[in-house]
Amino acid sequence: MVTGAFGLVGSAVVAVLAAQGYAVVATDLRTPANLASAQGLPPEVQVRWADLTSATEVTSLVASTTPAAIVHLAALIPPFCYANRPLAQAVNVEATGSLLAAAADLASPPRFVLASSVAVYGARNRYRDQGLLTAGTPVNPSDLYGAHKVAAENLVKSSSLEWVVLRLGGVLTAAPRWSIDPNLLRFEAVLPSDGRIQTVDVRDVARAFCAAITTSHVDEVFLIGGDSSHRTTQSAVAAETAAAMGLAGGIPIGRPGDPDDDRSWFVTDWMDTGRSQQVLDFQRHALPAMHAETSAAVGWRRGPLRLAAPIVRTVLKTQSPYRGMGGRFADPWRAIERCWGDPQY
């Protein structure tokens, strides 16, 4: 069973599992967008609509499907979690507990594979000698989302089920995205431009989750990022992704992080994925190849988009979350609070 089955990662996981011959139960909220997406699924995929914030619905869902494994992807992510803290708690933490309880009641309890995040490590100042993130790096959440993921991980680890936790980096898709929520563009603009981030192709993320279902290495945490080509910065990945779409120069360069203020950084960094790759064997798509794939898919549209790039840049600059804020360094937590609500936990 895959929760959050119609999100970016969920769709990829369902597709890979179905292609490998698994009997897949795809569950998510019943929304117009998800209903439309469900029409494109293979007929052997069983779709079950459910609200995971309802413990009653969760119990019924798990009892009626008796899954051999649960891949729990459903989450309310930044910046939306900051705007609705009660819902974020219900989705990110309480729903995890409900799934675990329902799964433990089955005659043959399933393996539980949790999608976590490198947000559990908290803000990461690139100018400190902190080394690469590892599964053993102490968790130290700086925001609500990171704290929620720590809480969810603790619920999983203290359960009676076999479990695997995957802490994800920045998930990207090579497919052109013609419709992007303006909130996501504004959110990217608040992050320190020189902040380190390790991205990963969503198809490789799907491979990791599929491998986690059957690996003999259980009760273990794995870091999921792409190969070394995915070690980049916030500004570089934004600029390169835009250029691949034909919008070179269309994304304004944001503010850098303050080297002397550890608090003014975001919750991303580079990671050591050696152990994860050894066990899960998921890395297939290098970042430059992803950009080339995007460019090829955009095709002739790159010409008109290239002409639109200066206009896009001007519009985005006028909508900057830092507009009217003094200083030259990024202050992501203050900007987030102005735009969406208190990010602290």
What are the 10-residue block averages of pLDDT along the chain, 345 residues in total?
Answer: 98 98 98 97 97 99 99 98 98 99 99 99 95 98 98 99 99 93 94 98 99 98 99 98 96 96 97 99 99 98 96 94 93 97 95
Q: Are 42 and 232 in contact (CB under 8 A)?
A: no
Q: What is the pLDDT of residue 177?
A: 87
CB 174 within 8 A of CB 201: yes
pLDDT, residue 190, reads 97
Asked if 161 contacts 218 with a C-beta cutoff of 8 angstroms, the reply is no
Q: Is 228 helix (H, G, I), strand (E, B) or coil?
A: helix
Contact by Cβ (8 Å): 245, 298: yes
Q: Quick one: which H or E segment has residue 232?
A: strand 231-233
- Token pair 């494994």 in the structure block, residue: 69
Q: What does DSSP assign to residue 197?
A: E
Res 129: pLDDT:
86
Output the pLDDT for position 179: 87
Name residue, tokens 């779709």: 47
Q: Scanning the structure block, which residue is given the tokens 């989450």?
A: 75
- Is residue 132 within 8 Å of 270, Cβ to Cβ? yes
Nearest to 92 by CA among 153, 148, 135: 148
Confidence (pLDDT) at 293: 98
pLDDT of residue 265: 98
User: What domains lie within the chain, and their CATH numbers?
Assistant: 2-174+200-228 (3.40.50.720)
Cα gap 283→227, rounded to integer Å: 6
CA atoms 44, 10, 199, 228: torsion sign: negative
- Note the pLDDT of residue 233: 98
Cα dihedral angle (310, 313, 314, 319), rounded to 10 degrees? 160
What gap in Å lies between CA 116 and CA 153, rounded to an integer?
A: 7
3-state class percentages of the chain: helix first, strand second, coil last, to nearest 5 = 45, 15, 40
Cα separation, 220 vs 163, whole angstroms: 7
Residue 47 gets the label, from left (phi > 0), alpha (psi -120 to 50) or beta, of: beta
Which pLDDT score is estimated for 180?
Answer: 87
